[in-house]
Structures are given as C-alpha cells and as structure tokens.
Amino acid sequence: MNILGIESSCDETAAAVVVDGRHVLSSVVTSQVDVHALFGGVVPEIAAREHLKVIDEIVQQALDTAKLTMDDIDAIAVTQGPGLIGALLVGVAYAKGLALSSGKPLVPVDHVEAHIHGALLGVDTAAQAIYPCLALVVSGGHCNLYVMESPTKLTLVGHSIDDACGECFDKVAKLLGLSYPGGPKIERLAQGGHPEAVPMPKMIAQKSRIEFSYSGLKTYMVNLLHKEQQMSDERKRDICAAFQDAAFDQIVRKLVSALEQYPHMKSVLIAGGVSANQRFREHMQRAIKIPQYFPALKYCSDNAAMIAAYGYHQFKQGAQPAHGRWDAYSRAHRPTAH
C-alpha cells in the first residue's frame, strides 16, 4: 500500500512516499532553519508562510522521486498536531484539497507518536519480536514514554513535567552563543570535553517516578554560565560534555526503572531529534539489555516518512485516531478493520 505523507508542524516542510509502512520510496525535507536563525528560534507566522511557498513543490518532488503519480497513492497521511497552529494549517489544508481533488482517503496523524515509526523504517517488523515495547520520543517539544502493544496501540506512561530535553539543549546552546537548533552543536563541542570536570545536578532521583524534568538542569546551566562569562574553549567543551551526560543520565535511569516496572517488554524504540545524538545512543546501548531500535539519522528529526508509516498502520487497521475522525477531511471510503 502506497501512502503519501505530508508534514508541516514546525520549521520543516516534508513529503514522502512509503510502501506498507516500511519501505521508503522517497522522503523530501526542506528546512527553514536559515530563515529563523536571524531570530534565534522558530517564528510561527514566518514558518506558516514559508510552508505555503514550498509545499506544492515538495509533494510533487516526493511523487516524482518515487516515480509515482497520485493515481498510485492509496491514502494521504498528514500531521494534524501537535505543532504550530499556522504551520499545521498549511499542511492540513493542502492535504484536504489534495484528498478531495484526487478522491483519496485522508489520515490525520499525531506527530509525536509518528516519530516512533521513524525507528522502524526499513525494519522487518513481521520477522522480529518488537511488541510489546517501550517507545521513547525525545524531541524539541516532548519527552514522552509510551507502552506500545502494536503499531497503533500506545499508552503514555511518562512525560516531561516541564521543559523537553531538546528544548533544554536549545536554550543552553543559546546561552553559549550557539545558533538554533542547539543540540547538534552541543554534541559537536562535547566531543572534545571531559564530562567529569564539571559537577552536575541529578534530576528526579526517585526510582518509582516515571517522569522527566529539565527545568532544574536548565536553571543550573543559566546560573553556571552566568558566573563563567570568560570561558576558555576547553572549559566550554567540558561544560557541554557534562551537560549532555546529565541530560541523558536522567533518561537512561528512567528507562531502566520503567523496564523493571514493565518486565514483559520485548524491545525499546527511541526516536525524535535528540535520538540523533551518538553519545545518547552509547548511554542507552550500555544500560539497556533488550533490543533497541533507533531511526537512521535522517529520520530522527522531522520528516514525512514517519508520518506516512504511522498513517499506513492507522489506515490499514481502520483505527479511530486519538485526536480526530477518519472522515474529518475526506469523503473517501474508509477500509473496514481486520
């Protein structure tokens, strides 16, 4: 089944064609990062206007790269939220129009849950024992932990009670004079640093609480960097290395205790922008003893292949999406559940 995915929730406009939720025929992503760099963060109104400029071309490119036309597409999956409302509106309105004009069904998809499917692109899920699993999304806006019984049956069992992990990376990067998005720049600087050279706080030490918190670490970093305005490059590298280890330590500890609470889990899926970090992957691989799946680097940050993949599972199953109705935007026939 060929699914066309469309994504416009933040500052990336993306379209992709994915077969059976797994084989990516095309994945086109264009980033607005240079436009927003001037402002030190994403400006919602500008993001919406930039999506509008390119969305038609990006969708066409995705179809062309896949060597398909709309006639070959079985359904259109579009990010319906969460995200910047004006930015989402562009993708949803475009997808609605395309669904109406082509007569194809439209599947509204949750962006955060879709990230998880990025970790399974290219994986032969039929042959490998994946479910039930724990699924962790660590992105700019969320730090969510789910128990996943099947591709579409997810229960949120933990989340950040304040800032998200990626958001904390971006804020600390800004304090260090690094441009948005800060995560990859902190990772690069940290490579030459000594994490043990800078003491860091330990967040949410209680084992039983499966929740995440980054506002304490952020405040600690604000105070630390305020005191250290004249920093050598070496000190900067040490601070970045210590900061990222502290940020990851919390996630690893929480996952280890979640696995004690849910001992029947067969695997762990880890996705979202922060999952691109190699140090994070090393920490996880050292601490978690059951199989782990991370997305290929190009599917860690926002893309439409993950939207198409999740859309495929929802469409095939005929499941009612959590935050919308199948026929919300399209009059096309919905398949019966099987």
Of these, 302, 310, 312, 315, which contacts ligand KG4 (CB under 6 A)? 302
- In one-letter notation, the amino acid at residue 55 is I
The verdict on 274 binding ligand KG4 (CB under 6 A) reads yes
Of these, 91, 140, 158, 311, which contacts ligand KG4 (CB under 6 A)? 140
**Alpha helices (H) along 214-298:** 215-227, 233-261, 278-287
Q: Which is nearer to ligand KG4, 182 or 195 (CB)?
A: 182
3-class DSSP string for 11-72: CEEEEEEEECCCEEEEEEEEECHHHHHCCCCCCHHHHHHHHHHHHHHHHHHHHHHHCCCHHH
Q: Could you give the string, one character per residue 2-31, with x where binding to ligand KG4 holds by CB under 6 A and - elsewhere?
A: --------x---------------------
Of these, 166, 193, 195, 321, which contacts ligand KG4 (CB under 6 A)? 166
3-state secondary structure of 337: coil
Q: Which is nearer to ligand KG4, 294 or 315 (CB)?
A: 294
Of these, 302, 310, 316, 330, which contacts Zn ion (CB under 5 A)? 302
Of these, 50, 170, 238, 245, which contacts ligand KG4 (CB under 6 A)? 170
**Contact between 304 and 66 (Cβ < 8 Å):** no
For residue 292, the cross-strand partners are 268
253 to 272, contacts with ligand KG4 by CB under 6 A?
272
7 binds, among ligand KG4, Zn ion, none (CB under 5 to 8 A by kind): none
Residue 170 to residue 266: CA distance in whole angstroms: 33
The verdict on 273 binding ligand KG4 (CB under 6 A) reads yes
Q: Which is nearer to Zn ion, 2 or 144 (CB)?
A: 144
- In one-letter notation, the amino acid at residue 99 is A
The structure tokens listed for 98 are 């395309």
3-state secondary structure of 330: coil
181 binds, among ligand KG4, Zn ion, none (CB under 5 to 8 A by kind): ligand KG4
For residue 269, the cross-strand partners are 135, 293
76 binds, among ligand KG4, Zn ion, none (CB under 5 to 8 A by kind): none
Q: Could you give the string, one character per residue 101-140, with x where binding to Zn ion holds by CB under 5 A and - elsewhere?
A: --------------------------------------x-
Which residues are within 8 A (CB) of 114 and not within 5 positions of it... i.e. 6 or more apart?
A: 79, 306, 307, 309, 310, 311
3-state secondary structure of 326: helix
Shortest distance (Å) from residue 140 CB to ligand KG4: 3
What are the residues binding Zn ion (CB under 5 A)?
A: 139, 302
Q: Would you tell me which residues interact with ligand KG4 (CB under 6 A)?
A: 10, 139-141, 166-167, 169-170, 181-184, 187, 272-274, 276-277, 301-302
